[in-house]
Structure 1
Amino acid sequence: MKKVNIYFNRWFSVAFHYMNLIRNNEDGVPVQIFATHPDINHMSLQGADVAGTEPALEGIEYVHFCVDFCRRNEIDIFIPRLHMLDIALHAALFDAIGTKLLVCRDLDLLETIMDKGKFYESVAGKGIMTIPDYHVVRTAEQFREAYQDLAAKGHRVCFKPTETEGGLGFRIIDNGRSPLKELFGHVTPLISFDEAYHILSTVPSFPDLMVMELLEGFEYSIDCLADENGKLLAAVPRRKAGGRLRLMEHIPELEDIALKVAETYRIPFNFNIQMKYSGDTPKLLEINPRMSGGLHISCLSGINFPYLAVKSALGGEVQPAEFAHDVLASHVEQPLIMKINGQSVIPDAVN
């Protein structure tokens, strides 16, 4: 059986686990995994068979780098993270060399999902789930008005850039905090309104910020798998359960939200819906049109999300999958030898 060549461009460290999940697939399909990153010692590369250094490029120049890499290495499947939108925009270049992309090709949808303000507007018009109270602002005065409106409704308030990943730029407004106490303690996301307003007032305008109610219930990441046409095949709600504990559990209302999102937006392959409860009501945080940072934990439910997406992209038949039981899981660090006497032990290097 011919090996399937799979390429990951600059990913998070957890791509190490995605690579091994694809490699150790239940069908015994042989794969060769390629990966690039600016840091040749990055942990994501340690799961690859062949690794390379990635140049600092943007836009079409970066796309051409990826196309050339795929051509030279006869890549069958490309799983992009960095510059995903640029890559999707030029999908035809990859089609021309026979490389399949694990990415949403609906450019309008992809642009909307990646801007939280635009996506909230889209969701509000469809009624498929509840969104938090929010405002999108770009000046200090708009920030003040948004804060005052949300506070008047009884909300604690937080804010975050509309275009960002993970927790970058996330802050919680807390007017009762003690800066001196914090100086001697852990770094926190807390900031007073006056401090935030003062900082934002130093410029006439700034990139869009979403000012919204702070949701204080359980937060769930719903890891989803769909086929190439966006038909939902699997959904696993996962939440933090204290410390390093993670609980995958059947929550019918969250599974129903996953189905409605899939039916409405038709996001292909792997995507992730982040919800957080306000009382008994789950409200949307964001959707990531890619594998989530905790997807390898959700795979302990018995569903190999990364491999099944690859299988679907290759034209294989993937049946709907459900996890039979709730699963409580955790993780420990795994030490890896990366070099001996300065010589890399894994993976092979390419230019």
Structure 2
Amino acid sequence: MRYKSLFLLFAVFLIGGLICGIIHSVNQVNQNEETPKAKLRILTAGSLMVPLSEVEKAFEGEHPEVDVEIEGHGSIQVIRHIIDLGEKADVIFVADYSLIPDLMFNRKMPNSTLPYADWYAKFSTNEMVIAFTNKSKYANEISSDNWYEILARKDVKFGFSDPVLDACGYRTLMLIQLAEGYYNNRTIFETLISKNFNPTFFVESDEGDSNYTIYVPQKVNPKTDKVVIRRSSILLTPLIETNSIDYGFIYLSVAKQHGLNYIKLPPEINLGSEGQTDNYKKVRVEFQFHRFEYIPAVKTRIGLPIEYALTIPNNTPHKKVAIEFVEFLLSKKGRELFYKNYQKIYEKPEMFGNTTEITEMRLKVG
């Protein structure tokens, strides 16, 4: 009888424990269902992945109800994810500010009179460098005076990003063409670019040889393994680090973030000096990619100083949170995280476009 009583008592405790556990689980599920995290989707130029990842952690620390998801692509591809592939994003960042007005201002969203975006903020800058490691061929010889001769050597491999997809790619072409004038050598582009691709890139100049147009073939196809092309400039860094290529054309901030050696290039060609704007404008890139036929504005990219821009697309699913993220990024905390990761950022962003929308957002910075 005593054992029976003990058994019944044990059973009561067991059942009671199970019931409490079930109630707790149900309550937990209800709590989770009541407070789902808002997913903030960010599409960015790959060169901003490192500083934005730091901003993401800090922002989520102050906003535990938000889950920030960041995807890195070439800048043109960032925008095409929205206007061509029909995807939605809450904030986008590009390494060439002009892509936003050129691609998004005049494209209407489906079933809407609104464009995909009607404002943007310029907020950061950079410059082009040639990155390498101590194991790169002729690492002890290369300099800002002879880099084009080193890259031309038969046993040297170098890389840059696809100009059809990535701003760093078409800036590499501009840089190399500008180098011909700076170094007074009219064979640099032909030696490094034209003869290494099939179909080839070709350059036209005006009568005074003062302005140049670089024509990019529909298919960017290296003829040999001397030149390597990747979809985004950040995909070159592991190739440089593992010595799969000797040198890569990337941004200064990315080289510093990855601890790579780099050649600082003259301001006349590095696309990082506002004082050289008129010089940079002498070079333009013309795409022959058939998908750009319906977007005439993107077919031609003009040489300009490197400036990054951001916008919140008009079809953002989480506008309020997107504004909060942008405000955090442009605040003192956000700027410090950019400085920490070698990414220059303006004290105050420069706003362009629909001023009514910008005012209504009450974008606070400081």
Same fold (TM over 0.5): no
TM-score by length of 2: 0.29
More helix by share: 2
For normalisation by structure 1, the TM-score amounts to 0.30
Larger relative contact order (CA 8 Å, sep ≥ 6): 2
Instruction: Specify the structure having the higher radius of gyration (Cα).
Output: 2
